[in-house]
Structures are given as structure tokens and as C-alpha cells.
Structure 1
Amino acid sequence: MRDVVGSFCSGVVVVSAVGAEGPVGLTCQSFASLSLDPPLVTFAVARTSRTWPRIRDVGSFCVNILAADQRELSQQFSRSGADKFAGIEWLPSPLGAPVLDGVVAWIECELWHEYDGGDHTIVIGEVHELASTADRRPLLFHRGTYLDQPSTTA
């Protein structure tokens, strides 16, 4: 199933928040727009994630859409146990979640609902603020690897 479904190209995002212990974040490639009215987005996180419960406890988060040249950022936020924000520049969103420097766009949400998704949790966020920050191409993932592409639009 992983091989076949991996044929579908996806973008890469970092979901971030600021909890009691400071900023937290995780890499995710299952992000999508869900509804315009009300404005909702969705993503799925592994049930084994130790970061998602910390973001859930905050109740709001920012979805950072990564640019093509932010592969290392994606990898940094996918590691367990490391200080994922070490050396990372960011500014707070209106609700205080980290907006990572250089992202293509960001979407600030409040947790709307969660659903059982087998070995994942399906998260629905209600959009409160959003902005496109750069005229750059997004980071793409296909068949288990990042796609190489220039970061500026043609």
C-alpha cells in the first residue's frame, strides 16, 4: 500500500505550537484543505507521535507550508527527541504559534476535532489567520523521497 499510495505527490508542512515547555513542531505530509465554509484544514499524525499530544494540549497551531529549499527543515522536525527548534528562526503568529522563516505560506488554526484514523489521528483545524509569505515553490514528497526543484517560480 505504501508503494502505491506513495505514487501521489504531496507537499510537506511543519505543524507548530508553543506549549508550556516552549515551541514544539512536527513534520507532516498528509495536509490538505478540507472546507471553505467553515474554513477547515486537515492532516494526520501517527498515533505514536510524542509531539502531537503537546500541540493538542495548546489547542491552537500553525501549519507552515515548506519551500522547496527547506528539505533540512523538514528532516529536523521529523526527528524524535531532538531540540527541533535549535537554530530555527521564527516569529509568533497572532495566536503565538511559530511561523517558520522562509515558508511558502502559513495557516493558523484552532483544534476543531480529531478522528480515529487507524494507526493515525485525523486532525481538523479551524482556520483563523493565514498568509502567503513568499513567491516560491513548495517542498514536494513522492515515492519516499523529496523532489528536487528550484525554489523560485518559473
Structure 2
Amino acid sequence: MTALGLNLRRVYGAYPTGVAVVAGLAGGRPAGIAASSFVPVSLAPPLVSVCVAHTSTTWPLLRELPRIGISVLGAHQEHVGRSLGSRDGDRFAGVGWRSTADGCVLVDDASAWFDCSVEEQFRSGDHDIVVFRVHDLDAAADVPPLVFHASAFRRLG
């Protein structure tokens, strides 16, 4: 990685973000990725977004699904963030989850969840910006979110 790339990574890491899991049923099995770029976009219509690396081998399995779940991980779910952020093995091993009738996958005990469909996708640099339309959602007021800051998982407070 170049000096600029290393500096970008360091400075981007100064901004804390929540950790979300983007997942759906692909071929009857859960497939998903961890994303620290989850952002609310619009209230009317209800839209959220994430950024997905062009190198992702999982996003091609997800992007054509009718529904995709986004789960904002709780502070107690660092192990889920690590598992879904890995490149090898069964990412859902030891992760509690449920699927909806439409095939979106939601992580159990998350801080918040969104039942979505892909609205738009834009190529930008080495990532795609994916905008999702929200069909259903909820949050657990008593579950603080997991935060990613300075290349490490952290808990608020």
C-alpha cells in the first residue's frame, strides 16, 4: 500500500462508525458481509446505503436477491463483526440469525435491523455505493451499538 493509502486508512479510522451486517439467503444459505459504511440516506422515500469493495466475492451473491437484511451490531457482538468480516470459512458459524419470508437475513440481538431491497448501485473508486429501500425496520433501545474506530472494535461509554 502506498504512503497516501496508509495515511488515508489512518485518517479515515479517526471517524467512528457503527458496524452492520448486510445479509440474505443465497441458494438457501445465509451469505453476508460486514460493513462499517452504513449510512441513513433519506426519510422519504426511506433509503439507507453501504459501500461494498469491488473485491467482495459475497456481494455478487447478494445484489440480485429480492430482499437483503441489514443488522446494526450491538456492543456485545464483536465476535459477529469479526466472523462476518473474515474472508474464509463459514461466516455464520456460531452466529444467531433468522430469515424473513422474502429471504433477508437478520442477526439475532442486533441493535437495529432493516429489511431492504437494492434501489440503486453506483461505481465509485474501488467500491460501489449501494442504496437500499427500507421496507421494514426496528431497533432495540436497550442495546448500544458496536463501533469501529482506529482499526478496532469499541463499545460506547
- Fold-level similarity (TM above 0.5): yes
In the TM superposition, residue 94 of structure 1 has moved relative to its aligned partner by 4.8
Q: Confirm whether residue 137 of structure 1 aligns to residue 144 of structure 2.
A: yes
Q: Which runs of 5+ in 1 are unaligned?
A: none
In the TM superposition, residue 57 of structure 1 has moved relative to its aligned partner by 2.2
The DSSP-based 3-state class of the residue aligned with 2:130 is strand
Whether contact under 8 Å (1:102, 1:134) holds in the other structure is: no
The residue number in structure 2 matching 1:127 is: 134
Map 1:4-23 to 2 at 5 A. 4-23=11-30
Of 102, 124, 128, the match for 1:117: 124
Whether contact under 8 Å (2:74, 2:144) holds in the other structure is: yes
The DSSP-based 3-state class of the residue aligned with 1:147 is strand
CA distance 1:21–1:95, shift in 2 (3 Å): closer
In the TM superposition, residue 149 of structure 1 has moved relative to its aligned partner by 4.4
The DSSP-based 3-state class of the residue aligned with 2:75 is coil
Q: Which runs of 5+ in 2 are unaligned?
A: 1-7
The residue number in structure 2 matching 1:64 is: 71
1:11-41: CA deviations, max 9, x gaps? 0000010011511010000000000111000
Separation of aligned partners in 1, 2:141 and 2:108: 10
TM-score (norm: length of structure 2): 0.90
Count of aligned pairs between the two proteins: 150
Q: Confirm whether residue 52 of structure 1 aligns to residue 59 of structure 2.
A: yes
TM-score (norm: length of structure 1): 0.91
Whether contact under 8 Å (2:145, 2:155) holds in the other structure is: no
Q: CA RMSD in A?
A: 1.4
In the TM superposition, residue 101 of structure 1 has moved relative to its aligned partner by 1.1
The DSSP-based 3-state class of the residue aligned with 2:94 is coil
Identity of aligned residues (%): 35
